[in-house]
Amino acid sequence: MNNAYFHLLLNHAPVYTVLFGIVLLLYGLLARNISLVKAGLTSVLVATLLTMPAYFTGEGAEEVVEHLPGIHHADIEAHEQMAEWALWAMGTAGTAALLGLLTTSSRPARARKPKVWAVVTLVVSIGAFALLVWTGLTGGAVRHSELKEVAPPVPQPPAGNP
């Protein structure tokens, strides 16, 4: 086993965990079920924690594959950029989820703030999920040439920002 193996092993976990959290949050909000909302918030928080090892094993995976035939540095760089965007988005979603959990009360009179944080978490998590999927697509394009045709371009930061 090497660093690329660990990266591939870990990188799917945040994608599916945040999707599960999105479904729980959406259903919990629609059904007005605080237990499902808490489960959704917890799932998003867990997905955030799972994003970190997936991200931080990427550098080691790069070292394993960067000199293999057919590997292009530009593909790896595109994947790294998307992974950084996804990490920040998941960090934001996880922070919102944590705030939602910390302000959640089972008493209906105090249920307004958790609902606001649940909605914020839901919206940010949907965006983060999209970035995670995009990151997976650019990562797949590193080794799978058939994905290069469908891999969307990586957004660039505005000029003047480091």
CATH architecture assignment, domain 3-147: Up-down Bundle (1.20)
Does 109 score more than 80 pLDDT? no
In the chain, domain spans: 3-147
Using the Cα atoms of residue 125, residue 129, residue 134 and residue 139 in order, give the sign of their dihedral: positive
127-154 per-position pLDDT tens digit: 999 999 998 888 877 776 655 566 556 5
**20 or 107: which carries more pLDDT confidence?**
20
